[in-house]
């Protein structure tokens, strides 16, 4: 009974695995590879408690490969080399059964630690499976990332979490000895924050706190038994995502006081300074954009500065940037424009480039008219000439719609003066 409930009922086959159907469902992107045993090196990226470690174990079990595991928290280069040496002895380049090396929290590995994996992955001595809660584009070195496929695990939905509870009641020996009724689950699901491990830990705590063998799970019982400390900041759990969400929404809502408060919560909890700065970079473009283009410059400078300086002085720079972003005029015009454009590309496919806009590096291309009708804007008054720059099928489509703020009102006037009624801006 010392082993946690989540570990006792950990699924061992794909049939028992709950959720992530986009990866391991009947038509999942990993299902066929797992069944065939043809596994590429890969990175599993997703929130805590969404089954990354479990999926790695199932992949190893289903493919029949030797399985080695390291945790980035307590492993160094020496440990990596020792495991790779063992793996080379049990598999290698000329077998499809090369061992699997699973590294939990791979984002915590330094550059030199990640470098030590490159040869083993490239030469096929091991198939690497890394698990991370952080964006691998930022936390995994490019050379290693280019050798891996990235698969994204989604936060558990309500039905998935209820299925986890029902599975625990049905399978666990200790729980099966009791009569447990799930009358209400809202409190458990809300407090879990989509983290399956956290859900099962809380569920077990509630069950073990009751003396009888007949237990009815209600919201009141859960709230009574589960001690919550809302001041404590969990860098890898629910509050990591809730507080950064509150921080960004405070910036978007132009409330500098709230932004600095949530920033202080993260700083006090020891949040990664780069994570905070990175999110402000995104907000500077997504939520402020062309209403104040300098916001992106400020956020980028902040990211570079705090990466160099670190805590405790970085708190001052983060605060300055957060207040600047919160008090900047807001626009999501650029964000919405690219979303509209991407949808149009998806809907219309690869439309031909108008012949006047095509590159003509050879005589043949010039002879058949490439670029012949192109009007060079600088040859005309105000460096502008009205022409069509979109494919004919979507001619006149407006993706960018300026928002109502001083900067974009000027952009709106600029477009109106140039294009008159062609675009509705």
**pLDDT score at 314:** 92
Give the length of the chain: 425
User: What whole-number percentage of the chain has pLDDT above 90?
Assistant: 45
Tokens of 234: 């969990």
- Split at pLDDT 50, 70, 90, the class of 1 is low
**pLDDT score at 284:** 96
Task: Please say whether the structural domain 238-326 has been given the CATH code 3.40.50.970.
Answer: no
- Say which CATH topology domain 158-225 has: Helicase, Ruva Protein; domain 3 (1.10.8)
Rounded to an integer, the average pLDDT of 1-17 is: 87
- Contact residues for 256 (Cβ-Cβ < 8 A; gap 6+): 322, 323, 326, 327
**β-strand 100-104 against 214-217: which pairing, if any?**
unpaired
- Rounded to 5 degrees, φ, ψ at 103 are -120, 110
**pLDDT score at 94:** 44
Angle subtended at Cα 392 by Cα 387 and Cα 394, rounded to the nearest 5 degrees: 100
- Split at pLDDT 50, 70, 90, the class of 207 is very high
Tell whether the model's pLDDT for residue 274 goes beyond 70.
yes
How far apart are the C-alpha atoms of 136 and 140, rounded to whole Å? 5
Tell whether the model's pLDDT for residue 2 goes beyond 80.
no
**pLDDT score at 231:** 41
How far apart are the C-alpha atoms of 288 and 243, rounded to whole Å? 20
Specify whether the CB–CB gap between 168 and 9 falls below 8 A.
Answer: yes
**pLDDT score at 416:** 84
Query: How many of the other CB atoms lie within 10 Å of CB of 174?
Result: 13
Q: What is the pTM of this model?
A: 0.58
Specify whether the CB–CB gap between 296 and 281 falls below 8 A.
Answer: yes
Specify whether the CB–CB gap between 19 and 51 falls below 8 A.
Answer: yes
HEC secondary structure over the chain: CCCCHHHHCCCCCCCCCCCCHHHHCCCCCCHHHHHHCCCCCEEEECCCCCCHHHHHHHHHHHHCCCEEEEECCCCCHHHHHHHHHHHHHHCCCCCCCCCEEEEECHHHCCHHHHHHHHHHHHCCCCEEEEEECCCHHHHCCHHHHCCCEEEECCCCCHHHHHHHHHHHHHHCHHHHCCEEEECCCHHHHHHHCCCHHHHHHHHHHHHHHCCCCEEEECHHHHHHHCCCCCCCCCCCCHHHHHHHHHHHHHHHCCCHHHHHHHHHHHHHCCCCHHHHHHHHHHHHHHHHHHHCCHHHHHHHHHHHHHHHHCCCCHHHHHHHHHHHHHCCCCCCHHHHHHHHHHHHHHHHCCCCCCHHHCCCCCHHHHHCCCCCCCCCHHHCHHHCCCCCCCCHHHCCCCCCCCCCCHHHHHHHHHHHHHHCCCCCC
Rounded to an integer, the average pLDDT of 76-95 is: 75
Q: Where are the domains of the chain?
A: 20-152, 158-225, 238-326, 345-419
Task: Please say whether the structural domain 20-152 has been given the CATH code 3.20.20.70.
Answer: no
Peptide bond into 404 cis (omega under 30): no
How far apart are the C-alpha atoms of 367 and 360, rounded to whole Å? 9
Specify whether the CB–CB gap between 43 and 106 falls below 8 A.
Answer: yes
Listed range (59-63, 161-165, 201-205) with the worst mean pLDDT: 59-63
- Say which CATH topology domain 345-419 has: post-AAA+ oligomerization domain-like (1.10.3710)
- Contact residues for 399 (Cβ-Cβ < 8 A; gap 6+): 337, 338, 340, 341, 344
Tell whether the model's pLDDT for residue 234 goes beyond 60.
no
Mean pLDDT of the chain, nearest integer: 87
Tell whether the model's pLDDT for residue 354 goes beyond 90.
no
Rounded to an integer, the average pLDDT of 267-277 is: 88
Q: Report pLDDT digits (tens) over 32-76.
A: 888 887 888 999 999 888 999 999 999 988 888 888 999 887 788
Rounded to an integer, the average pLDDT of 264-272 is: 87
How far apart are the C-alpha atoms of 120 and 99, rounded to whole Å? 11
366 vs 121, residue with greater confidence:
121
- Split at pLDDT 50, 70, 90, the class of 92 is very low
- Rounded to 5 degrees, φ, ψ at 25 are -75, -170
- Split at pLDDT 50, 70, 90, the class of 239 is low
How far apart are the C-alpha atoms of 417 and 153, rounded to whole Å? 48
**pLDDT score at 165:** 95
């Amino acid at each position: 009974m010392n082993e946690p409930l989540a570990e006792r009922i950990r699924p061992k086959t794909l049939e028992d695995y709950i959720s992530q159907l986009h990866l391991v469902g009947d038509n999942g992107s990993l299902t066929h590879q797992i069944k065939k045993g043809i596994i590429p090196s890969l990175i599993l990226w997703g929130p805590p408690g969404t089954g990354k470690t479990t999926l790695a174990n199932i992949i190893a079990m289903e493919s029949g490969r030797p399985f080695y595991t390291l945790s980035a928290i307590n492993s160094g280069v020496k440990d990596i080399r020792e495991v790779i040496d063992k793996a080379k002895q049990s598999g290698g380049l000329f077998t499809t059964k090369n061992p699997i090396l699973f590294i939990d929290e791979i984002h915590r590995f330094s550059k030199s630690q990640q470098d030590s994996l490159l040869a083993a992955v490239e030469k096929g001595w091991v198939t690497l499976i890394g698990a991370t809660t952080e964006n691998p584009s930022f936390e995994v070195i490019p050379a290693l990332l280019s050798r891996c496929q990235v698969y994204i695990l989604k936060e558990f939905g309500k039905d998935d979490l209820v299925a986890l509870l029902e599975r625990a009641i049905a399978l666990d020996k200790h729980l099966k000895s009791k009569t447990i009724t799930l009358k209400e689950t809202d409190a458990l699901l809300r407090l879990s924050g989509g983290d399956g491990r956290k859900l099962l830990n809380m569920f077990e705590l509630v069950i073990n706190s009751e003396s009888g063998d007949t237990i009815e799970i209600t919201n009141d019982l859960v709230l009574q038994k589960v001690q919550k400390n809302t001041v404590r900041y969990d860098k890898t759990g629910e509050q990591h995502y809730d507080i950064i969400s509150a921080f960004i929404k405070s910036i978007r809502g132009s409330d500098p006081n709230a932004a600095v408060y949530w920033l202080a919560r993260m700083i006090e909890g020891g949040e990664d300074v780069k994570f905070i700065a990175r999110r402000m970079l995104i907000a500077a473009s997504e939520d402020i954009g062309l209403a104040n283009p300098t916001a992106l410059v400020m956020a980028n400078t902040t990211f570079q500065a705090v990466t160099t300086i670190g805590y405790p002085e970085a708190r001052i720079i983060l605060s300055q940037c957060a207040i600047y972003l919160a008090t900047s005029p807001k626009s999501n015009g650029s964000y919405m424009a690219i979303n509209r454009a991407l949808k149009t590309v998806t809907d219309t496919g690869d439309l031909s480039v108008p012949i006047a806009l095509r590159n003509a590096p050879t005589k043949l291309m010039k002879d058949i008219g490439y670029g012949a009708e192109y009007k060079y804007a600088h040859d005309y008054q105000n460096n502008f000439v009205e022409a069509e720059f979109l494919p004919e099928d979507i001619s006149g489509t407006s993706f960018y719609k300026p928002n109502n703020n001083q900067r974009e009102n000027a952009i709106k006037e600029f477009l109106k003066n140039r294009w008159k009624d062609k675009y509705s801006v």
